[in-house]
Structure 1
Amino acid sequence: MAVLWKAVAGGLLFTVCLMGWRVEGQGNNKKEVSGDSIIYLGQERNPWRPLIRTTANLTEISSIKSSFQFRTFDPEGVIFYGDTKNGKDWFVLSLKEGIPLMQISKEDVQVSVTGGPKLNDGKWHTVDLSNHGKFVILEVDSSPGLVVGLHSKQTKEVISGELRLALGGILITKDKMIVQMDPQMDGCIREGRWLNLNIPWVADAEELWLCHQNIRPGSFFAGEGFSIFNTSVFSIDEDQGFKVEFWGDFSQMDGTILSIMSSQEELLGALVANNNTNEIHLTIRKEKHVVKNTLKRLQITFLKYIVKWLIYLDESNEIMFSYGPESTPGNLTTLTEGRFAIGGLLGGGKDMVGSHFLTGCLEKIQVQGKDLDLDSAVKDMSASSHSCPA
């Protein structure tokens, strides 16, 4: 992937290209990235920090057109970034509600433009981006996608200096964005052709995660981490309580699906799939209930005095269990400032250490009746937020 950002008289010239890569050791725990494979953008890190970056001299750049293939189910996130003048002039391409969003800052001009087809359908799309005078043109699958015109009286030709390029993040502070967004992108890039440059990229990771050959919508947990949320960001009232619901093939899961902890660091409940016994275990404090893992949908609701567990063997066949007031007093009070984890068993303390991580795909997650985006987690470890291996 590369972005060329180069000013010309009366306008702006830049070119972007993303590519796949192979990782090779470079010393100091840094990795060199070459352009002959694919890369997964959603790797765990600070969400604004680029996964891949490089620097080039503007004098080495002659091409003004680039192309790449891109695939995602994620509706929002940063794809790539480029700048000159150490970040004074910059460009960002991202998705917002699945649609391409370009943001440009150049001299006294700032531009934000959204347009083109939705790209978060899980299919590979070929994206071409080129400069034509004062216009930047984005094409998707050889069809017109988005055109941005930019002109400033203060624009001066930039023929020397450095061009910084970054993938999956930005190199300026997030408050400079014209349109605020969630930066994390669960997506893959391959077959990039970028400018005329032949320089290495440096990965800010000891090991790069691989892309799955085929994907389907959902949230995939690889048995190495979980996503943590504060309950305080959800509306909890005494009548409706606190409801969490899951869809998926539970027979293919193993590990902790859900754990909930009170504001006093007490583990209130845990939902665990056991692939060895083909069972699903729900533990509420010291009480446990077990069902077979042949269900396709599961709902847990914490009410003022009881906890309801509703399971669906299919869309028309449901079974409900309830836990009474003797075992679960004050559920909503302790939950208001608590936290919950998807994909692991919460530990105590501020470090939120977890264990018994989930392996498997949750096709859909809802909290309080609304879809849960793992990208909004307080802490997210080793989970693909919008895709599962098919």
Structure 2
Amino acid sequence: MVTGSRVTTRVWMWTSVMKLLVFAEQQTVGTSWEASNACVRRDTSMTTSPKLFECESRVCEEECVNTPGSFRCYCDGRQGKRLAQDMMRCEVIEDRLPLDMRRNSRSLYLGRMFSGIPVVRLRFRRRVQTGFTAEFDLRTYDPEGVIFFAGGHLSSSWIVLVMHRGKLELQLKYGAASRVTSSGPAVNDGQWHKISVEEQGRSLVIKIDREAVMKIAVTGDLFTMNNGMHELNLTVGGVPFREEGLVSKVNPRLDACMKDWRWLTGEDTSIQETIRHNERMQCYAIEDHSAFYPGHGFAFFNHSHGDNQTLRIQLTLRPASSMGVLFALVHQDRVPFSISLSDYHPTTLEWKEHVLVAFGDVIVASAAVDLCDSVTHTLNVTVTGNSSVLEVDDRPGRMESVENLQAIDLLSYSTFIGGIPDVSLVSTPISAFYTGCMDVRVNGRLLDVDDAQHKHNDIRSHSCPLVTTQQ
């Protein structure tokens, strides 16, 4: 008779996703048997087979999720990480194409603050009253925003030079009288234009490239008296009061570059020195017409797109990186829909550049294509119910075979461009921020990031650096 014997069986398991060889032991415990001349009696009390939870063994460098018979690793792209080819470690995301990020140290970038507050504030004080003069060179693709404000305070006399529909517009308030005047050619063509505003007697004269385009009669003075001194406040890139105080409402955010400025008699040497030592206040030396996403931060819109049945998304882009979220719909802590760039396919584990369309964490359409080639590409995605169609440069993408896919709710969501917020990594295949140029149209309407609910200050709405000339 043998009692309480212990049998050990070695089992080798091959996990389907991670291709990791796992060793475990199955133990048969408490088995006893007794032999007699008449019969054999076997009494098996219990057989146990412990479950394998690979994530408890810390096989992933960052996030780990157990799946039936296997596991899956995730890396936080929002921290600049991507999954390595061993599918467990995390690597730093590197740009494929270096952009020409050279700055012009003698230029001033007007769109640095998304809040629309001025980027420069000056105060001039005079013992003897003088007329107002301003001259500067301006370059922009942006059709709307504040260039500068000059005057006293909201209830006194002031002028605001703005860009509206691509043309210069002067809003002025002298006492109880207010006026809005616009004239001249469009100047949001990305070329440098010399702009000047000058008080000549009781008139304001505005010139573009030294040609007068507006002459406006005024009654009153922009300078105000304070303790025996004539004072004038001047702000650049915004107004010193809420935008509702303007004579005609405009979005104050202006993606524009200014250089060779002279305010009154040029008394702004301290500002020039400040700009020279602060790159964020400077413009890129060479720019193209597109929004720029720097690989950190996102823009989000908290409104619907006018159609709760169909979503038609067009992305015009020139990527500098092969990883990043281009477009996403977010509801609370979920990402019901996303369009991303990736250098691998999470389902097929194919290691090459892809465009991925996902419902949640499920890939529903894809295209194996490398877009990091310095050329502008166009992606079109149409979403209706639980189906989607992808086209890359007018070529159809591959439709993935997915069962029991739920339709997307096109009413309750926020739209994120260039990245996703702090949601779970497992809610979407890709979490990295996008790097490169991109314009987004939804149902035929351009999403101007100047109109977003929020955007990172380093995202530029209408100016994108070119690929470096060293390539």
Which category of TM-score, normalised to the shorter sequence, fits these structures?
A: 0.7 to 0.9
TM norm structure 1: 0.78
Alignment of structure 1 residues 100-119 onto 2, 5 Å: 100-119=168-187
User: Residue 308 in 1 paired to residue 389 in 2?
Assistant: yes
Q: 1:73 to 1:102 in 2, by over 3 A?
A: same
Query: Deviation per CA, 1:290-328, whole angstroms, max 9, x where unpaired?
Result: 52124821122221231222222xxxx421444678454
Query: Deviation per CA, 1:121-150, whole angstroms, max 9, x where unpaired?
Result: 000001122111121111111112222112
- How far the C-alpha of 1:151 sits from its partner, in A, is 3.0
Q: 1:40 to 1:97 in 2, by over 3 A?
A: same
Q: 1:103 to 1:275 in 2, by over 3 A?
A: farther
Per the alignment, residue 278 of structure 1 pairs with: 353
User: Residue 180 in 1 paired to residue 180 in 2?
Assistant: no
Counterpart AA for 1:74: D
Q: 1:318 to 1:161 in 2, by over 3 A?
A: same
Q: 1:182 to 1:325 in 2, by over 3 A?
A: farther
Higher relative CO (Cα under 8 Å, sequence separation at least 6) belongs to 1
Number of aligned residues? 338
Per the alignment, residue 368 of structure 1 pairs with: 443
Q: 1:157 to 1:389 in 2, by over 3 A?
A: closer
Per the alignment, residue 356 of structure 1 pairs with: 432
Counterpart AA for 2:262: R
Query: Deviation per CA, 1:56-84, whole angstroms, max 9, x where unpaired?
Result: 21437646433100000000000111222
> Any gaps of 5 or more consecutive residues in structure 2?
1-104, 345-351, 425-429, 467-471
Q: 1:253 to 1:55 in 2, by over 3 A?
A: farther
- How far the C-alpha of 1:287 sits from its partner, in A, is 2.0
Aligned to 1:384, the other structure's residue is in SS state coil
Counterpart AA for 2:378: R
- How far the C-alpha of 1:224 sits from its partner, in A, is 2.0
Query: Deviation per CA, 1:214-273, whole angstroms, max 9, x where unpaired?
Result: 2111111111211101242x20132xx1121111234765422112213x4321122222
Per the alignment, residue 318 of structure 1 pairs with: 395
Counterpart AA for 1:151: T
Which one of the candidate residues 194, 218, 223 is aligned to 1:150? 218
TM norm structure 2: 0.65
Counterpart AA for 1:143: E
Q: 1:275 to 1:144 in 2, by over 3 A?
A: farther
Counterpart contact for 1:42–1:384, Cα < 8 Å: yes
**Larger Rg, first or second structure (1 or 2):** 2
Which one of the candidate residues 213, 222, 235 is aligned to 2:306? 235
Q: Partners in 1 of 2:399 and 2:308 — Cα distance?
A: 19
Alignment of structure 1 residues 8-47 onto 2, 5 Å: 37-47=106-116
Percent identical: 22
Counterpart AA for 1:292: V
Counterpart contact for 2:315–2:440, Cα < 8 Å: yes
Q: 1:157 to 1:196 in 2, by over 3 A?
A: closer
Per the alignment, residue 465 of structure 2 pairs with: 389
Alignment of structure 1 residues 89-100 onto 2, 5 Å: 89-100=157-168
> Any gaps of 5 or more consecutive residues in structure 1?
1-35
Aligned to 1:95, the other structure's residue is in SS state strand
Q: 1:65 to 1:55 in 2, by over 3 A?
A: closer
Alignment of structure 1 residues 153-164 onto 2, 5 Å: 158=224, 160-164=229-233
Aligned to 2:127, the other structure's residue is in SS state helix
Aligned to 1:385, the other structure's residue is in SS state coil
Counterpart contact for 2:174–2:219, Cα < 8 Å: no
Q: Partners in 2 of 1:283 and 1:86 — Cα distance?
A: 50
Per the alignment, residue 296 of structure 1 pairs with: 377
Q: 1:230 to 1:322 in 2, by over 3 A?
A: farther
Counterpart AA for 2:231: E
Structure 1 consecutive aligned stretches of length 4 or more whose deviation exceeds 6 Å = 202-207
Q: 1:65 to 1:383 in 2, by over 3 A?
A: same
User: Residue 380 in 1 paired to residue 455 in 2?
Assistant: yes
Counterpart contact for 1:61–1:196, Cα < 8 Å: no
Backbone CA RMSD of aligned residues: 3.0
Q: Partners in 1 of 2:378 and 2:238 — Cα distance?
A: 35
Q: 1:231 to 1:156 in 2, by over 3 A?
A: closer
